[in-house]
Amino acid sequence: MMTSQSGILLLLLSIVPGICLAGENPTPAGSTPAVIKVKYFQPPLEKDIPNNQFGKMVTLGKNIFEHTGQYAGKYVGNKLQCVNCHLDAGRLANSAPLWAAWVKYPKYRGKNKMVNTIAERFQGCFRYSMNGTPPPTDSKTLKALMSYSFWLATGAPTNINMPGSGYPKIAKPPKAPDFARGKIAFENNCAICHGANGKGTQKNGQYIFPPLWGKNSFNWGAGMHRINTAASFIHANMPLGQGGTLSVQQAWDLAYYINSHERPQDPRFKGNIQQTDKKFHAHQCRYGDNVNHHILGKR
């Protein structure tokens, strides 16, 4: 009997471009089983954006995604761009690509305990990751981002958890994450791009590498403030262009270290750190912890 997982895989093989199995012939008895190789979905190329009104909206969405402060500045409260966490303009597998997100909404999210549309998901990104203001549902900004996501998902199946979606779940570390080890790993692997103080590097007044903490980074409500989420992203994608070169332990230590620094307040904060911590941060994060005689979230 075919399992549900194998059924989904065969469905993907039949209808999704760029997904295949290695080997066409059955494995002979007694020999080594054939290795299954999965190729990720390939979104259309920029040159394929249609030359019409819809294509103009797709292009605007791409521009917003790559240069968020420039094209959607009134909704942004820090110096990050969408592309900082969704690499290659939202195209790269295992970096929370837009094409994989588009096909999974609407869906229930435990973060706000309700079914969210893709529009609401984007609004949450502006509120937390961009430390800003959610664009109205009927705004040109949101329409452009949704148009770009829809176009990237051309040919993708709906309501399928596609290979390469989100950030790959990372294994548990051999040792508990450690601040001191994380600091060393940061100095050796990250400081060259993000600066020794973790607050990003600029050229001609523009950030070329984003701030990882401080007032210009994501706030305490963003998904990346979770140590497990940050560790998964780091292990799969960092250093930039060298994903998979850091050990599991290094990724966890780095995530722990980065998220042991102050950043903008959680917008759900109502004046009491302990209550905010208990209600919204009962997971792997450092909000409300005492780090070097400072309670994170207090500033």
The CA distance from 299 to 285, in Å, is 17
Residue 6 structure tokens: 């194998």
- The pLDDT value recorded for residue 28 is 40
- Is the separation of the CB atoms in 91 and 153 below 8 Å? no
Q: Look at the pTM and tell me if it is higher than 0.85.
A: yes
Residue pLDDT, tens place only, 146-156: 999 999 999 99
Provide mean pLDDT across the span 234-257. 97
Average pLDDT, the chain: 89
- The pLDDT value recorded for residue 204 is 85
pLDDT tops 80 at residue 272: yes
Domains in the chain, ordered, with CATH? 1-39 (no CATH), 46-152 (1.10.760.10), 179-295 (1.10.760.10)
Residue pLDDT, tens place only, 73-99: 999 999 999 999 999 999 999 999 999
239, with CB counted inside 10 A (0-12, 13-18, 19+), is middle
Strand positions, DSSP E, 49-192: 107-109, 114-116
CA angle 89, 123, 47 (to 5 degrees): 25
Provide mean pLDDT across the span 225-249. 97
Residue pLDDT, tens place only, 139-198: 999 999 999 999 999 999 999 999 999 999 999 999 999 999 999 999 999 999 999 999
pLDDT tops 90 at residue 14: no
Residue pLDDT, tens place only, 108-136: 999 999 999 999 999 999 999 999 999 99
DSSP at 202: E
pLDDT tops 60 at residue 253: yes
Residue 118: closest CA among 93, 99, 94, 91:
99
Residue pLDDT, tens place only, 192-212: 999 999 999 999 888 999 999
- The pLDDT value recorded for residue 62 is 98
Q: How far apart are the first and last CA of the chain?
A: 58
**At 222, is the secondary structure helix, strand, or coil?**
coil
- Kindly indicate the confidence band of residue 38, based on its pLDDT and cuts at 50, 70 and 90: low
